[in-house]
């Protein structure tokens, strides 16, 4: 039995001072928590500023303390082994536990910086001839220095940053410390590093917890009398199960409230790497965020899907994200321009005040737009993950197969078109699917992405190439969205075909599943190709169709031109010109509706015309319902409803003609 860690954000609405029994209202509590967090932040900032050098970062990266022992995972212990202490400002009485929390925060930030530092070092070591475009050899040299988990976007962003530095200083940065300022520390107190002398936590019943924490009573505590134990009652959200273990939280103040980021661990079942029979495969789509299919592994290595495409179509939301990103770029450009102007100005300048006010407004707006993009990305990712999990649960699947994002080629057309739903959203979706799947003991396994949408999932064992066109009725044009197989006649949505191939690769290659020891991430690196059949087969050809095929005649012949009743093009109607516009018989496009009389009680009456109807699947598109109620949380997302169709391939066998009563034969 392993454990899953999640974080619930709770609010402390007030507290009681333990000895005096005095009630501390929310505003005062927020102030005291802010003082504590401020003390810790100042210590963290001083510590990081002192250690933001190449030599100190090397010492931390070496992983060995001054005593020759390996550095532990606990950040504050690691810093103490390196003798990186920090003392509070003179006259301040701050207990050692607060210093520990500050050291923990500093260690986390410095360890995060190690990753960026390795990336910068690798890029500088293999600095390309033309920074705008690396050659294949340059890419290989760079990739050899980096781990597989570094994404192309990270490399691109760091390359841009280094290029900007090169333009300014005409020399490559020697280290990350040249390129960046010391990382800023958030105003929060990581109580995980403290012990019973600063904070304790106990659970009270199913839906409550009691946090005891020592808080300063003044901004600059001068002695131990300026500190007091506070008891904070916390209401737990219903997402925290009764059997969960609560961990020590992190405190921060947001919008005048004390926020308690409370991690909790709950026991989860074990999801085996192999031995799966029913699985779900999902592909990252072009217009749809996820396209999936459900399949079953049959005897003799056959894979049969239930023939139903599952789609989470987020085009509406991705269009919104696109607009927001454009707005963010616009605001960022404005902000940079104003900053440049402000640098060249003195405070005495008459324009300074107006410009700095405008700059402050733009900066706030830019931050607001950034926060909104982050929020939409996160919500979309969790909504899509929830949907994918619901589909897997409804179909009885025990495993979900996804494309490996690291091997997903970010080059070519796919890379550009997919920029709408950024790789960041996909990363978030994967993380969310992993988290939710762990709760239900469903395995999440990534399979290689190469060639998933290139080869037919139904024939050729991964050798017959699909042709792609824009739509099923535009077969002769070159396109993207629609796949058809010249060998077997398969004709379906490109992403659906890719999802089927991903599922087949996963179910057939499950013996080769590898589990990363450190992260528990499951991957299939080997490509095992196989065909996937769809359970719903086309109807048997009618007798007339069979005869037509046998005699090689056309089942629906077109009459010769002379035999048709219509044998000439339809003459054009007289066009609407200035002369005959008054006599036009055309119905006006818009029906005129009298405006509602202001002040009457019936204001807001619906204009004439057909009443809006309840949503129904459009003709020819079964399954895909634009239903805002459908659990996605977005109005502009079309997701296949989650239906449990029962088991399609292991039910009682269909009666054969000989089993039927005589009357039906």
Pick 434 or 501: Cβ nearer Zn ion: 501
HSE-CB for 344 with a 13 A CA cutoff: 5
- Residue closer to Zn ion by CB (options 99, 483) is 483
CB 427 within 8 A of CB 410: no
By beta-carbon proximity to Zn ion, the closer residue of 472 and 520 is 472
Q: Taking the complex as a whole, how short is the minimal distance between the CB of residue 283 and Zn ion, in angstroms?
A: 17
Angle 96-125/152-169 helices, nearest 10 degrees?
80
Residues 257-316 contacting Zn ion, CB under 5 A = none
Is residue 402 within 8 Å of residue 388, measured between CB atoms? Answer: no
Interface stretch with Zn ion, choices 237-245, 355-363, 457-465, 573-581 (CB under 5 A) = 457-465
Q: How far apart are CA 515 and CA 523, in angstroms?
A: 6
Q: Least separation, in Å, of the C-beta of 492 and Zn ion?
A: 10
Beta carbon of residue 504, minimum distance to Zn ion (angstroms, whole number): 13
**CA distances in angstroms from 512 to 226, 500, 506, 519, 523, listed in the order given:** 61, 19, 9, 18, 8
Strand partners, 254: 257
Query: Mask: binding to Zn ion, 479-498, rule CB under 5 A, as x and -?
Result: ------x-xx-x--------
Whole-angstrom distance, CA of residue 337 vs CA of residue 475: 49
Of residues 602 through 641, those in contact with Zn ion by CB under 5 A are none
Spatial distance between the Cα atoms of 257 and 250, rounded to a whole number of angstroms:
14
Q: Does 458 bind Zn ion (CB under 5 A)?
A: yes
With contacts defined by CB under 5 A, name the span among 173-181, 235-243, 453-461, 615-623 that binds Zn ion. Answer: 453-461
Residue closer to Zn ion (CB basis): 252 or 458 = 458
**d(C-alpha 218, C-alpha 228), whole Å:** 10
- 545 is a contact residue toward Zn ion (CB under 5 A): no
Q: Work out the widest C-alpha separation in the chain, in whole angstroms.
A: 108
Strand 250-254 with 491-493, pairing: unpaired
Q: Which helix (H) or strand (E) holds 357?
A: helix 352-394
Within residues 171-230, the interface with Zn ion by CB under 5 A covers none
* Tokens encoding 486: 């010249």
Smallest gap from residue 462 Cβ to Zn ion (A): 10
- In the complex, the smallest distance separating the C-beta of residue 75 from Zn ion, rounded to whole angstroms, is 55
When the beta carbons of 464 and 513 are compared against Zn ion, the nearer one is 464
Pick the closer one to Zn ion by CB: 381 or 492.
Answer: 492
- Least Å from the CB of residue 575 to Zn ion: 49
* Nearer to Zn ion among residue 459 and residue 535 (C-beta): 459
Distance of alpha carbon 522 from alpha carbon 519, whole angstroms? 9
Our CB check for Zn ion shows the closer of 215 and 490 to be 490
Size of the residue set binding Zn ion (CB under 5 A): 8
Quote the least distance from Cβ 486 to Zn ion, whole Å. Answer: 8
Q: How far is the CB of 485 from Zn ion (least distance, A)?
A: 3
Piece of 39-47, 223-231, 478-486, 623-631 that binds Zn ion (CB under 5 A): 478-486
Kindly indicate which of the ranges 38-46, 374-382, 452-460, 627-635 contains the residues binding Zn ion, using the contact rule CB under 5 A: 452-460
Q: Which of 81, 84, 79, 56 is nearest to 67 (CA)?
A: 81
Q: Which regions of 78-222 does DSSP assign to beta strands (E)?
A: 188-190, 199-204, 208-216
Closest approach of Cβ 306 to Zn ion, in Å? Answer: 19
Give the ranges where 551-662 is alpha helix by DSSP (H).
Answer: none
Listed ranges 106-114, 175-183, 464-472, 521-529: which one lies at the site for Zn ion (CB under 5 A):
464-472
Q: How far is the CB of 463 from Zn ion (least distance, A)?
A: 10
- The separation between the first and the last C-alpha atoms of the chain, rounded to the nearest angstrom, is 56
Binding mask 359-398 for Zn ion (x = CB under 5 A): ----------------------------------------
With CB under 5 A as the contact rule, the residue among 192, 231, 459, 535 that binds Zn ion is 459
Nearest Cα neighbor of 407 from 279, 527, 528, 314 is 527
Q: Which stretch binds Zn ion (CB under 5 A): 345-353, 458-466, 596-604, 641-649?
A: 458-466
CB of 649 to Zn ion, least distance (A): 21
Q: Is 623 left (phi over 0), alpha (psi -120 to 50) or beta?
A: left
Long-range contacts of 652-660, Cβ-Cβ distance < 8 Å, separation of 24 or more: none
Which residues share a beta bridge with 8? 262
- By the criterion CB under 5 A, which residues form the site for Zn ion? 456, 458-459, 464, 485, 487-488, 490
């Amino acid at each position: 039995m392993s454990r899953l860690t999640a974080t619930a954000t709770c609010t402390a609405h007030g507290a009681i001072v333990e000895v005096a029994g005095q009630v501390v209202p929310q505003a005062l509590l927020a102030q005291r928590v802010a003082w504590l967090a401020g003390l810790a932040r100042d210590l963290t900032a001083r510590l990081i500023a002192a250690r933001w050098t190449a030599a100190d970062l090397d010492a931390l990266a070496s992983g060995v303390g001054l005593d020759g022992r390996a550095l532990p995972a606990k950040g504050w212990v690691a810093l103490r082994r390196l003798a990186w202490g920090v003392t509070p400002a003179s006259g301040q009485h701050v207990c050692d536990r607060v210093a520990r929390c500050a050291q923990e925060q500093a260690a986390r930030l410095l360890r995060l910086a190690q990753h960026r530092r390795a990336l910068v070092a690798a890029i500088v070591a293999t600095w390309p001839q033309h920074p705008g475009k690396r050659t294949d050899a340059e890419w290989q040299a760079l990739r050899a220095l980096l781990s597989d988990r570094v994404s192309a976007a990270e490399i691109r962003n760091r390359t841009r940053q280094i290029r900007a530095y090169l333009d300014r200083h005409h020399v490559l940065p020697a280290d990350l410390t040249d390129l960046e300022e010391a990382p800023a520390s958030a105003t929060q107190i990581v109580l995980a590093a403290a012990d019973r002398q600063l904070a304790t936590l106990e659970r009270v019943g199913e839906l409550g917890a009691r946090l005891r924490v020592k808080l300063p009573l003044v901004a600059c505590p001068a002695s131990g009398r300026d500190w007091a134990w506070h008891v904070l009652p916390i209401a737990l959200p219903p997402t925290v199960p009764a059997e969960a273990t609560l961990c020590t939280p992190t405190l921060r103040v947001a919008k005048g409230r004390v926020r308690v980021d409370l991690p909790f661990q709950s026991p989860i079942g074990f999801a085996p790497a192999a031995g799966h029979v029913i699985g779900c495969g999902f592909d990252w789509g072009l217009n749809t965020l996820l396209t999936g299919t459900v399949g079953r592994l049959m005897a003799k290595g056959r894979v049969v899907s239930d023939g139903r495409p599952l789609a989470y179509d987020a085009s509406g939301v991705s269009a919104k994200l696109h607009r927001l990103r454009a707005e963010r770029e616009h605001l960022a450009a404005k902000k940079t321009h104003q900053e440049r102007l402000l640098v060249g100005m003195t405070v005495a300048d008459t324009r300074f005040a107006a410009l700095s006010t405008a700059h402050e407004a733009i900066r706030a707006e830019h931050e607001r737009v950034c926060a909104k993009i982050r929020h939409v990305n996160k919500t979309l990712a969790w909504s899509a993950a929830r949907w994918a999990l619901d589909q897997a649960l409804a179909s009885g699947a025990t495993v979900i197969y996804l494309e490996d994002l690291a091997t997903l080629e970010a080059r070519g057309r796919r890379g550009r078109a997919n920029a709408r739903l950024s790789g960041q959203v996909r990363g978030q979706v994967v993380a969310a699917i992993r988290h939710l799947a762990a709760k239900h003991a469903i395995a999440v396994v990534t399979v290689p992405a190469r060639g998933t949408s290139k080869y037919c999932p139904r024939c050729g064992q991964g050798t017959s190439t699909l042709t792609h066109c824009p739509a099923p009725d535009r077969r002769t044009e070159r396109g993207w969205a629609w796949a058809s197989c010249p060998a077997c006649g398969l004709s379906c949505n490109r992403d659906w075909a890719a999802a089927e191939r991903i599922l087949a690769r996963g179910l057939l290659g499950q013996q080769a599943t590898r589990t990363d020891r450190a992260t528990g991430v499951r991957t299939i690196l080997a490509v095992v190709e196989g065909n996937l059949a769809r359970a719903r087969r086309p109807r048997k050809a009618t007798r007339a169709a069979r005869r037509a095929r046998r005699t090689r005649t056309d089942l629906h012949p077109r009459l010769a031109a002379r035999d048709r009743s219509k044998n000439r093009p339809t003459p054009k109607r007289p066009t609407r010109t200035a002369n005959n516009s008054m006599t036009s018989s055309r119905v006006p496009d818009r029906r005129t509706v009298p405006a509602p009389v202001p002040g009457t009680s019936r204001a807001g009456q619906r204009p004439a015309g057909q009443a809006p109807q309840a949503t129904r699947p459009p003709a020819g598109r079964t399954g895909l319902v634009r239903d805002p109620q459908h659990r996605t949380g977005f109005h502009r997302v079309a997701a296949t409803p989650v239906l449990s169709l029962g088991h399609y391939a292991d039910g009682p066998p269909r009666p054969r003609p000989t089993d039927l009563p005589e009357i039906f034969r």
